[in-house]
Structure 1
Amino acid sequence: MAHFLIKRVAFMVPTLFGVTLIVFLMLQIVPGDPVNSILPPDASEANRARMIQEFGLDKPLYVQYFSWLFHIVQGDFGRSLIKRMAVNDLLFESLWNTFLLSMAAGIVSFGLSIVIGVYSAYKPKSLIASLANIIGLTGVTIPNFWAALILVGVFSVMLGWLPSSGMSSIGGGGPGDLLAHLILPAVAAGMTTLGVMTRMVRSTVYDILQQDFVTTLRAKGVSAVTVLRHVLRNGMPTILTVAGLQFGYLLGGSVLVETVFSWPGVGQLIYQAISQRDFPVIQAGVLMIAVLFVCLNLIVDLFHGMIDPRVRHT
Structure 2
Amino acid sequence: MVAFISKRLLLFIPTLFGVSVIVFLMLQMVPGDPVNTIVPADATEEERMQVTRELGLDKPIYVQFIYWLVHMFQGDMGTSIIKRLPVSELLLPAVGNTLLLAAASAVVSFGLGLAIGVYSAYRPKSWAASLFNVLGLAGIGMPNFWAALILIGIFSVSLGWLPSSGMQSIGGGGLLDTFRHLILPTIAASLTTLGVMTRMVRSTIAGLLQQDFVFALQAKGAPAGKVLRHVLKNGMPTILTVAGLQFGYLIGGSVLVETVFAWPGIGQLIYQAIGQRDFPIVQSGVLVVAVAFVLINLAVDSLHAVLDPRVRHS
Task: Give the whole-Å Cα distance in 2 for the aligned partners of 1:226 and 1:74.
Answer: 52
Task: Give the whole-Å Cα distance in 2 for the aligned partners of 1:132 and 1:75.
Answer: 47
Q: Does 1:149 align with 2:149?
A: yes
Other-structure match for 2:228: 228
Other-structure match for 1:83: 83
How far apart are residue 131 of structure 1 and its match? Answer: 2.5
**Contact kept? 1:133, 1:199, Cα under 8 Å:** yes
Other-structure match for 1:29: 29
Report the AA paired with residue 97 of structure 1.
N
Matches within 5 A, 1:277-288: 277-288=277-288
* SS across alignment from 1:124: coil
**Contact kept? 1:132, 1:199, Cα under 8 Å:** no
Task: Give the whole-Å Cα distance in 1 for the aligned partners of 2:43 and 2:212.
Answer: 77
Other-structure match for 1:47: 47
**Contact kept? 1:116, 1:128, Cα under 8 Å:** no
Q: Say which is worse superposed, 171-180 or 121-130, in terms of deviation.
A: 121-130
Report the AA paired with residue 53 of structure 1.
R
How far apart are residue 169 of structure 1 and its match? Answer: 0.8
Report the AA paired with residue 163 of structure 2.
P
Task: Give the whole-Å Cα distance in 2 for the aligned partners of 1:59 and 1:9.
Answer: 33
Task: Give the whole-Å Cα distance in 1 for the aligned partners of 2:185 and 2:16.
Answer: 30
Matches within 5 A, 1:111-260: 111-260=111-260
Task: Give the whole-Å Cα distance in 1 for the aligned partners of 2:127 and 2:71.
Answer: 56
Other-structure match for 1:303: 303
Report the AA paired with residue 113 of structure 1.
G
**Contact kept? 1:273, 1:279, Cα under 8 Å:** yes
Post-superposition Cα deviations, 1:31-63, rounded to whole Å, max 9, x if no partner, equal 111101111111110011000100111111111
Report the AA paired with residue 66 of structure 2.
F
Ranges in structure 1 where 5+ consecutive residues have no aligned partner: none
CA RMSD of aligned residues (A): 0.8
Task: Give the whole-Å Cα distance in 1 for the aligned partners of 2:48 and 2:106.
Answer: 46
The sequence identity of aligned pairs, in percent, is 66
Task: Give the whole-Å Cα distance in 2 for the aligned partners of 1:174 and 1:131.
Answer: 38
How far apart are residue 18 of structure 1 and its match? Answer: 1.1
TM-score by length of 1: 0.99
> Once superposed, which parts of structure 1, at least 4 consecutive aligned residues long, lie more than 2 Å away?
none
TM-score by length of 2: 0.99
* SS across alignment from 1:263: coil
Post-superposition Cα deviations, 1:40-93, rounded to whole Å, max 9, x if no partner, equal 111110011000100111111111111100111111110000000000000011
Q: How many residues align?
A: 314
Post-superposition Cα deviations, 1:181-235, rounded to whole Å, max 9, x if no partner, equal 0000000000000000000000100010011110011101111111111100111
